[in-house]
Structure 1
């Protein structure tokens, strides 16, 4: 893995926090796609209010991730992941929100050495259950949302036989800051920083537990457009993914685009 200069990490993190000091407009952020140089993420979602107060919402989306090999620049050259996700959220207090979700993910496996061919098996299936709990502060067009998310991830080969990694417990800590640009609440800037920690039960090479450890960080910066005339939200963003730590760390640049259809079945 290539080493990411510590100064570059700190400068990017500082830029995101300075630019975005604060609504948690729920863009459909990209998943991690493993080692690459550049990657891309495209998602289509439906967000439906489930009560008259609009405190409870369902968000369903389908997303596709593509990526380059570690030695090339094209972020669209290789299929990386297909995601189908359903999440229910409840803003049950002014400052508190929880959500729970079920997700299916189909990832493509590639060799970590050149020429980065597909592995055998070439596909890994994942079923994921997660919940998150958030504390939210907002006012004057700013919103600051801090979230802890706990995941259970179960892995299978394409024929549903056991994968090398049996299952994983992953903890994610995220802070997200949003800013309304102007009084119409149509244009928004959204920034976030997230750290991920995990422990896994392995099938191979031995059936044993890994240690609970830091895995990666994800820094995001989005522009979001939510026109009042049509029920759609358009998000365009960038994610900087730092995988690993120290001399074994690597980084990936992501282009992300998503479209969310709001309340197709009525508000």
Structure 2
């Protein structure tokens, strides 16, 4: 707990408004991982205060004994989120998500042994500060409800989870003309789970992991697309990867931006 509190202090000091980047999910214990997403972002009103982002994405990861980030299928995601910027500095959003994630043996030959499915709903609130003409930071709290199933939608060992995420992100605008930005973020995750096995019970609420990321975001000239390329380090509490500096991600997202259209 002392460590978590120490990590929270800098977390509350960093963040910014992000327009395009889709953060990678946690893909479990590994050495390296890849995350790629294609999204469609649409303005929902003429003032630009409401918008929706839908995306599909895949994740790949290495086995525990190698560094090949494309080695194994890690996750498939379909996500839909609606945002509302109700004041110049404040925003809330709500979302629904479906995720399908293979599970692998923890020892050699690390073969697939099961598939876990997840239905997730979440909401978040964010406050953005302007630090001059080019620099912004935003602090976000996100609350999730995660329900788990096996491949046939039967119950799993973990029934459901309540998870709180605290994220801070600093954004520096390199060029407004081409929408070039550099993003640095840190996110901490806390959760409590209701278990089906070995008996119906709750585990303790606590700190689970921290994710540190850096991204370069840019608009593709003469097109409605923006793209971001980034790196994330996922530090999972009590994991094998923690002794090697965490799970190292390469991530790339492509977003198709659709302006508001009157009906």
User: How many pairs align?
Assistant: 252
Does structure 1 retain, via aligned residues, the 8 Å contact 2:191–2:208? yes
3-state secondary structure, aligned to 2:126 = strand
Q: Report what 1:232 is aligned to.
A: 225
Could you tell me the TM-score, scaled by structure 2's length? 0.89
How many Å separate the matches in 2 of 1:183 and 1:105? 35
How many Å separate the matches in 2 of 1:165 and 1:114? 24
Of 164, 180, 189, which residue of structure 2 is paired with 1:196?
189
Q: Report what 1:253 is aligned to.
A: 248
Unmatched runs of 5 consecutive residues or more in structure 1 = 1-5, 15-19
Does structure 2 retain, via aligned residues, the 8 Å contact 1:21–1:142? no
Q: Report what 2:69 is aligned to.
A: 75
Does structure 1 retain, via aligned residues, the 8 Å contact 2:241–2:247? no
Q: What does 1:158-169 align with in structure 2 at a 5 Å threshold?
A: 158-169=151-162
Q: Report what 2:48 is aligned to.
A: 54
Moved over 3 A (4+): 20-23, 245-250, 264-267
Unmatched runs of 5 consecutive residues or more in structure 2 = none
Once the two structures are TM-superposed, the CA of residue 266 in structure 1 deviates from its matched residue by: 4.2
3-state secondary structure, aligned to 1:33 = coil
Q: What does 1:210-221 align with in structure 2 at a 5 Å threshold?
A: 210-221=203-214
Once the two structures are TM-superposed, the CA of residue 29 in structure 1 deviates from its matched residue by: 1.0
Once the two structures are TM-superposed, the CA of residue 153 in structure 1 deviates from its matched residue by: 0.1
3-state secondary structure, aligned to 1:163 = coil
Q: Note the alpha carbon deviations across 1:198-235, whole angstroms, 9 max, x for none.
A: 00000112211000011000001000111452111111
- 1:25 pairs with 2:19: yes
Root mean square deviation, CA, Å: 2.5
Q: Note the alpha carbon deviations across 1:80-126, whole angstroms, 9 max, x for none.
A: 1000000000000111100000000000101122221212xx21000
